[in-house]
Amino acid sequence: MAVGLSQLPTLYPVRGIRLAVGSAGIKYKDRPDLVVIEIAPGSQAAAVFTRNRFCAAPVTVARKHLAQTSPRALLINAGNANAGTGDLGLAHALTCCDALAEQLGCKGEEVLPFSTGVIGECLPVKPFVDALPACISRLSASGWADAAHGIMTTDTVAKGVSREFELEGKPATITGIVKGAGMICPDMATMLAFITTDAAVTRNVLQECINQSVMHSFNRITVDGDTSTNDSFVLLATGQGQAPLIDSVDSVEFVQLAQVVAQVTTELAQAIVRDAEGATKFITINVTGGVSEAECLEVAYTIAHSPLVKTAFFASDPNWGRILAAIGRAKIPELDVRSVSIYLDEVKIVSQGAVDVEYTEPRGQAVMDRSEINLKVDLGMGPAAACIWTSDLSHDYVQINANYRS
């Protein structure tokens, strides 16, 4: 059960965007597994992709197509990653792009493909292509909720965010959806995310906006330390709203847009961790007092990736020695353990590298019993800080992944 997530919020239509879902039966026989997002002509797109060197065929194709032209459609399937499939996988991705392009009356390179699911299995192209006509017949500006459900794999809830805001006094809309629950560790972003706005933005400025937002949102989450082969995040700007064109990162409008995009990506990133496979805890790790942000992140991820720490959180066990040990093995050559302080929410458990004189086990237990916990580490070395979000490691996580292909 997702931690602190309820039903999907209202997702506002974005002018210039239509969506539809279909059922190709690629893996799931009783639910939609195919999503088409149609994009109005004249829109701009920016994206970031996985840095996993075994990147999936659709990632390779999407990168290539995006470098050639602005997209007219996104084509997404769930249940099969089309990764580790070599030249045949590339051919299958291109075939699917061409099939959708023919239906929409555009060129194959104007379609960006995205896949999620099992790695190493060939994409069944025929049912995929056969499902497209019925899918696009249902294209609608109000199809966001269906699309959020259609891209799910091991997610337990659909995840989306929507905002209505102003750019220099003119109304604008932004809506985005994301999927992801396991194989989550950042190396650009980590999941499939699609965010759209009716703002008018030049491509270079849009790319800067996505680069800024990802660094402190999707690049600050981890569930299990595994970076996917298929991670992709696309930001689309249709230009069909009332606000003037944003063509400079120095403009007031860019700052306004960037703030909203950052809010949306942060909320979506946190939703992934809240819905992490088997998660019972949502854990914020704040590391302060570092010499550099990189050092703070090193400590934060060492804690977040420790199976001993994660299982202690699952058990609600205030075994703070596991946290201390993780900090001590982080690759921080100049760390002075006598300067380190550790807090669980409001409870100080370690001071100057040893148990705090006022700490008691019942106080620690009271925090560990909570479903949302803020772990703070002060390294006492400098002015830098960093924040990441992670989850616990439960029986259900092991069960889900042990049975993933069955």
- The C-alpha angle with vertex 232 and arms to 226 and 236, in degrees rounded to 5, equals 155
Q: Look up the pTM and report it.
A: 0.94
Range(s) for CATH 3.10.20.340 in the chain?
282-402
Write the CATH number of the domain with boundaries 17-274.
Answer: 3.60.70.12
Q: Are 269 and 188 in contact (CB under 8 A)?
A: no
Phi-psi region of 42 (alpha: psi -120 to 50; beta: other; left: phi over 0): left
- Give the architecture (CATH level 2) of 282-402: Roll (3.10)
d(CA 263, CA 257): 10
Range(s) for CATH 3.60.70.12 in the chain?
17-274
* pLDDT tens-digit profile, the chain (406 residues): 689 888 899 999 999 999 999 999 988 888 899 999 999 999 999 999 988 888 999 999 999 999 999 999 999 999 999 999 999 999 999 999 999 999 999 999 999 999 998 889 999 999 999 999 999 999 999 999 999 999 998 888 999 999 999 998 999 999 999 998 776 776 765 589 999 999 999 999 999 999 999 999 999 998 877 778 888 999 999 999 999 999 999 999 999 999 999 999 999 999 999 998 888 999 999 999 999 999 999 999 999 999 999 999 999 999 999 999 999 999 998 899 999 999 999 999 999 989 999 999 999 999 999 999 999 999 999 999 999 999 999 888 888 778 766 5
Residues that are catalytic: 190
Within its chain, how far is the Cα of 403 from the centroid?
Answer: 23
Query: Residue 206 is encoded by which pair of tokens?
Result: 């849009």
First to last CA, the chain: 21
